[in-house]
Amino acid sequence: MYTNGYIFRYAAIMVIIAAALLSTAAMLLKPFQERNIAIDKMGGILVSANIQDVDATNAMKLFNEYVSEEIVIDQDGKVVDSYTDGKKEDGKAFKLDMKKELYKKSQGEPYELPLYVIEKDNKKLYVIPFRGVGLWGPIWGNMALNDDLNTVVGVTFAHKGETPGLGAEIVADFFTKQFIGKQIFNDKNEFKSIQVVKGGADKLPPNERIHGVDAITGGTITCNGVNDMIYDILDSYLPYLQKNR
């Protein structure tokens, strides 16, 4: 019969071995995980600009092909970094952590934000990344604007754990395609954002419908999160957008 001391020593050794194996596995897998995250991020940026047939096998190639410039702007809309050469995943803009930068903003501290310039069909598109909060966790995405820095070319959304069939439908085409052609400024150059309207954008006055899309039935809280995210992020980019329109 084994003594208590033997059992404790055996258990301690097994715990140490298991921890070492898990730690080693985590370190070995980290580069692959980071690459997959980067590829997913690139894919979202490209798809928002209506670049088709993007998948894990070609996202990095297409990203470097279509993205002509990566810009970093500060809270005043001033360009503090511009990256055009080399692999775009090496640029400062691509490496910026939106979560950390938005936290700095919430604390009243200086912050920086990324902006991606895509050249497609001899036109420049400007992609703004989003990050916000849904019902059950973070939501994020991208919005591509035409060269007028006003008209939406496309959007993508993603989430960590919204309710299937309800809030999770923010990723669906029937929701995202509504944004195409919408505008974030009115004819007086006033910032309007884009409203996600419960009950439908038809509830808005006719002259406001260019700034609205239909919310998802049953996904009110998630849609409110998308609505707030769009407004807050676009408002953060407003100094740059107004200077360059």
Backbone angles phi, psi at 197, to 5 degrees: -100, 120
Is the model's pLDDT at 165 over the cut of 80?
yes
What is the mean predicted confidence (pLDDT) over 29-51?
A: 83
Give pLDDT, residue 30: 61
**Spatial separation of the C-alpha atoms in residues 205 and 151, rounded to whole Å:** 19
Query: Mean of the per-residue pLDDT values for the chain?
Result: 91
pLDDT at residue 17, rounded to an integer = 77
CA distance 85 to 113: 19
Length of the chain: 245
Eight-state DSSP code of residue 76 = T
Beta bridge partners of 124: 119
Predicted pLDDT of residue 29 = 56
What is the C-alpha separation between 49 and 161, in angstroms, rounded? 25
Helix segments in the chain, DSSP class H: 4-48, 59-66, 92-95, 98-106, 173-176, 220-244
What 8-state DSSP symbol labels residue 134? -
- Residue 13 confidence (pLDDT): 78
